Amino acid sequence: QASQEELKAAYRRLCMLYHPDKHRDPELKSQAERLFNLVHQAYEVLSDPQTRAIYDIYGRRGLEMEGWEVVERKRTAAEIREEFERLQREREERRLQQRTNPKGTISVGIDATDLFDRYDEEYEDVPGSSFPQIEINKMHISQSIEAPLTSTDTAILSGNLSTQNGNGGGSINLALRRVTSAKGWGELEFGAGDLHGPLFGLKIFRNLTSRCFITTNCALQFSSRGVRPGLTTVLARNLDKNTMGYLQWRWGIQSAMNTSIVRDTKSSHLTLAMQLGIPHSFMMVSYQHKFQDEDQTRVKGSLKVGFFGTIVEYGAERKISRHSVLGATVSVGVPQGVSLKIKLNRASQTYFFPVHLTDQLLPSAVFYATVGPLVIYFAMHRLVIKPYLRAQKERELEKQRESTASDILQKKQEAEAAVRLMQESVRRIIEAEEARMGLIVVNAWYGKFVNDNSRKNEKVKVIDVTVPLQCLVKDSKLILTEASKAGLPGFYDPCVGEEKSLKVLYQFRGVLHQVMSADNEALRIPKQ
């Protein structure tokens, strides 16, 4: 947001500080020449509106992107952004042949009703009857991959296998999708399986307006009983910024009409739905609260009432690592009984474990289904997950330090050289500030501070930045913008990948003050 005048003033100031002709010592002269060239390169980028817009939006990687030389010079950052995204799309298209998007689901159904529904008199004469029988009664595995053919055409191959109580089957599907325009796409699907005959389907998506779209899916299922046609149409509309309304009509297999309203905000997710159909008609309300914490914790609950009975569900999910989300839901229904559903999302793979506990409404089953997963989760989190994540973070930090070691060493040498070149200027600034009882930086440190007793075993990693900060004082003021302070003249990063702060002890009007500022936090002293 700096004006051209501010940029010129800062450029002139740094040029005066680093100009080689101002230093007689050969070593200082060589260091000044290197830093002077860096300042000049920075000013060349920031003084040109086009390259400055690129740098402001995308940083150094934007300047390194090939193709800018053929781009017409633009005036606005928005136009620069469009050109950059176009160049990125062209680069991505060249990688299309090497990319896939694998997705998979593994579901394992567990019958644990023997834990709660057993009757002792039936087991008296059965060997081993003292131990409840827990068994896997169904499994389902599905997998799909995408193979981009061109920038508009994609082939999708998917398959699934299912088994329940010893009986099962599978199917395989091939879909060809073409993006016809910015408003829509079409998809042809072919499938075959051992439980059903060949399948032929057509799916069409189309944006009707900027706030409304429609999806139509036609299918023909061939079997020994003949041809079973099916048609599903979904009409959706944005009711407001965070709310979508859906109308669905399904004809053929399990015909039904469904309407739903979905409201999704930063802190909550609400769904209201009603369906009239054969064999199921129901009404449902579902609410999910999103906590704004680091682990992205979510608590949810739902009520579903229909011809099949009533089901109440409640549960929670939480991020346990960078790519993994763990969730548990308790389902209590009449006449379904009590079930516990555990789900783990790992990147694009989903692992689902529905555990059926009892066919009856037993308070003990509801209690253990609720408390059991919580106790196990907190024990696992404390004994396994946290130590694992801590060790993983340390490995990543060590890897990052190793990969940036040479770069950090160079930055450190540049910072130390800059501090030596600043000494004379800082001496004059301090003399001027003392004469007016102005701002004098007594001491300043930058890096990782450890103030919390829980982190007392961690090592403090700070560097002295008293001279560079004093050099930035102008007219008894020090102003730092919202950016990492590691990029300031005379600074470097003493602890790559770790949380950093700036601690300043300064004197103003003869009175000592102290201030602590986060790495990316703006700072203005003296404080008002």
- DSSP secondary structure, 276-299, as one string: EESS--EEEEEEEEE--STT--EE
Q: Is the dihedral of CA 178, 181, 185, 188 positive or negative?
A: negative
Instruction: Output the tens digit of pLDDT for each of the chain's 528 residues.
Output: 788 888 898 898 888 888 888 777 888 888 888 888 889 989 998 988 878 877 877 777 777 765 544 444 445 566 666 666 777 766 666 555 446 678 899 999 999 988 887 654 454 555 555 677 888 989 999 999 988 888 889 999 999 999 988 888 899 999 999 999 889 999 999 999 887 789 999 999 999 998 999 999 999 988 878 888 999 999 999 999 999 999 999 998 788 999 999 999 999 999 999 999 877 899 999 999 999 888 889 999 999 999 888 999 999 999 988 788 999 999 999 888 999 999 999 888 999 999 999 988 889 999 999 999 999 999 988 888 888 888 888 888 888 778 777 888 888 888 888 888 888 888 888 999 999 899 999 999 999 887 665 455 567 788 999 999 998 888 888 988 888 888 888 898 888 888 889 999 999 998 999 999 998 888 998 876
pLDDT at 122: 53
3-state SS, one letter per residue, for 373-410: HHHHHHHHHHHHHHHHHHHHHHHHHHHHHHHHHHHHHH
pLDDT at 283: 95
- Distance (Å) of CA 114 to CA 2, 132, 271: 71, 5, 35
Instruction: Give yes or no for a cis peptide into 468 (omega within 30° of 0).
Output: no
Give Cα 165 distance to the centre of its chain: 39
CB 418 within 8 A of CB 467: no
246 CB burial (10 A radius; 0-12, 13-18, 19+): middle
3-state secondary structure of 166: coil
User: Order of strands, edge to edge, in the sheet holding 511-518?
Assistant: 461-464, 439-448, 501-508, 511-518
pLDDT at 424: 84
CB 471 within 8 A of CB 451: no
pLDDT at 121: 47
Amino acid occupying residue 459: K
pLDDT at 302: 96
| Six token digits for residue 446 | 């930058």
List every span in the chain annotated with CATH 1.10.287.110: 1-63
CB 314 within 8 A of CB 330: yes
CB 167 within 8 A of CB 194: no
pLDDT at 263: 95
| Residues near 236 by beta carbon (within 8 Å), at least 6 away in sequence | 212, 213, 214, 215, 244, 245, 246, 247
pLDDT at 494: 87
Give the number of C-alpha atoms closer than 13 A to the C-alpha of residue 359, restricted to the C-beta side: 4
Tell me which of 3.60.20.10, 3.30.360.10, 2.40.30.10, 1.10.287.110 is the CATH number of domain 1-63: 1.10.287.110
Torsion of Cα atoms, 423 then 425 then 427 then 431, to 10°: -170
pLDDT at 97: 46
* CA–CA distance, 291 with 317 (Å, rounded to integer): 11
Place of tokens 């830093």: 35
Instruction: Give yes or no for a cis peptide into 526 (omega within 30° of 0).
Output: yes
Q: Where are the beta strands (DSSP E) in 23-134?
A: 103-111
pLDDT at 32: 85
* CA–CA distance, 54 with 56 (Å, rounded to integer): 6
pLDDT at 486: 87
To the question of pTM greater than 0.85 for the whole model, the response is no
DSSP H or E segment with residue 471: helix 466-471
CA angle 329, 333, 338 (to 5 degrees): 55
| Residues near 247 by beta carbon (within 8 Å), at least 6 away in sequence | 234, 235, 236, 258, 259
CB 458 within 8 A of CB 450: yes
